[in-house]
Amino acid sequence: MRILLLIVAFLALSLLGLGLFSYFKSRALEAAYPNIGERFDIGGYSLNALYKPAGPKADLPPILFIHGASGNLRDPAGAFLQPLEGRAELLFVDRPGHGYSDRGGPENAMPDGQADAIVKGMDHYGIAKAIVVAHSFGGSIAASLALRHPDRVSGLVFLAAATHPWPGGVDWYYRLSSTPVIGWIFTRTIALPAGLQRIASGADSVFHPNKPPTDYLEKAAIPLVLRPATFQNNAIDVANLHDYVSRIAAHYPEIKAPTVIITGDADEIVLENIHSRGLARDIAGSELVWVHGLGHKPDYIATDLAIAAIEKLAGQPRDLQALARQVEARIGQKTRGAEAPL
């Protein structure tokens, strides 16, 4: 009995220590990656966004960027802010429960609730209509936004989007973290220190077979997802996604907005043959731009192609298929360079 009590005491002290570490490390992460946006009320909770007005020589309509799982507004801003600043109104949003946005109510555990919240963010900045650029998990939100608020969407750019039901499930830690009580304990004790050990290799796997920029983790402030509440919100999002897209995907043919879908055949995170090809099948008139050798991050590896897609949706003449071949050649050169003997 005494041994059992000692074991319980040891476990309790260990969890307490991990909990204290997670709390103070979370505050340190927020100090390292402070909010670069603006928090504003959208009806009982705050959304966070980075807004950049159009310049005097703007040639594009407003553009809304929706980040994927484990991300925040700094992720798309790191790829698109510099090349697009001044050309259009730009709105980068922290999805509810991510970055510096509050989670809000239970409706925000689903993509349609997050889509509604993001539209309120558009309202805050007086953006009536925008081209929506969405990466990965953000694709399900962009599709929901186009279905629920079609008058707010002037075009859609899906980047390695997750939008359709897929075989299999999700990683164990998403299920564990999204479980009531146990998930709360796990995310506030073990998840953060374990995540710090895996975050660099995680970025490598997301970009694979392409190489992430050397400053990607810092530029995109990815460690913010390790904060306990954010980690749990992210896990709930991912755990809920399969059931959600299983219900909503049948409605994609109702989407009428001009659409470009950019994907790579080397994406091991979101299978392009299910999601991107599914979107191309379901959305009439959409253009599928398929890039050989491209992984899950076309926003960073094929930024010029994504911007060309935005320009095409804005009415500018762009040959996206020809540009895709140029991206393939660039990827091939980098791959050959990496494999060259020293």
User: Rounded to the nearest 5°, which phi and psi values hold at 159?
Assistant: -115, 110
Which burial class, exposed, middle or buried, applies to 170 when counting CB atoms under 10 A from its CB (0-12, 13-18, 19+)?
Answer: middle
CA–CA distance, 109 with 238 (Å, rounded to integer): 9
Strand partners, 134: 66, 158
- pLDDT level of residue 340 (50, 70, 90 thresholds): very low
In terms of CATH architecture, what is 2-337? Answer: 3-Layer(aba) Sandwich (3.40)
DSSP 8-state assignment for residue 187: H
Cβ-proximal residues to 144 (8 Å cutoff; 6+ apart), any chain: 111, 112, 114, 115, 248
Whether residue 336 has pLDDT greater than 70:
no
Give the C-alpha separation, 39 to 121, whole Å.
10
Model confidence at 160: pLDDT above 70: yes
Helix (H, G, I), strand (E, B) or coil at 233: helix
Calculate the CA 114 to chain-centre distance. 12
3-class secondary structure, 147:
helix
The pLDDT tens digits for 13-23 are: 667 788 898 99
pLDDT band at 172 (very low <50, low <70, confident <90, very high): confident
165 exposure class (CB count in 10 Å sphere: 0-12, 13-18, 19+): middle
pLDDT tens digit string along 103-153? Answer: 999 999 999 999 999 999 999 999 999 999 999 999 999 999 999 999 999
What token pair was written down for 325?
């071949």
276 in Cβ contact with 309 (< 8 Å): no
Taking the domains of the chain in order of start, what are their residue ranges? 2-337
Question: Using CA atoms, how far apart are residues 167 and 255, in angstroms rounded to an integer?
Answer: 25
User: What percent of the chain clears pLDDT 70, i.e. is strictly above it?
Assistant: 95
Rounded Cα distance between 51 and 36, Å, is 10
pLDDT in tens, 225-240: 999 999 999 999 999 9
DSSP state of 173: H
pLDDT tens profile 294-315:
999 999 999 999 999 999 999 9
Distance CA(286)–CA(313), nearest Å, equals 11
Best CA proximity match to 110, nearest among 74, 148, 76, 73: 148
Q: For residue 341, what pLDDT is reported? A: 45
Is the pLDDT assigned to residue 278 strictly greater than 80? Answer: yes
Tokens 């994609």 map to which residue? 252
pLDDT (average), residues 141-167: 98
Give the residue from 303, 242, 234, 251 showing the smallest Cα distance to 271.
242
The answer on pLDDT for 342 being more than 80 is no
pLDDT tens sequence across 67-87: 999 999 999 999 999 999 999
Residue range 288-294: mean pLDDT, rounded:
98
**What confidence score (pLDDT) does residue 24 get?**
92
Q: What is the mean pLDDT of the chain?
A: 94
Contact 301, 331 (CB under 8 A): yes
Predicted local confidence at residue 121, as pLDDT: 98
* Chain segment 35-44, per-residue pLDDT in tens: 999 999 999 9
What pLDDT, on a 0 to 100 scale, did the predictor assign at position 74?
A: 98
Q: Using alpha carbons only, what angle is made at residue 66 by residues 62 and 72, rounded to the nearest 5 degrees?
A: 125
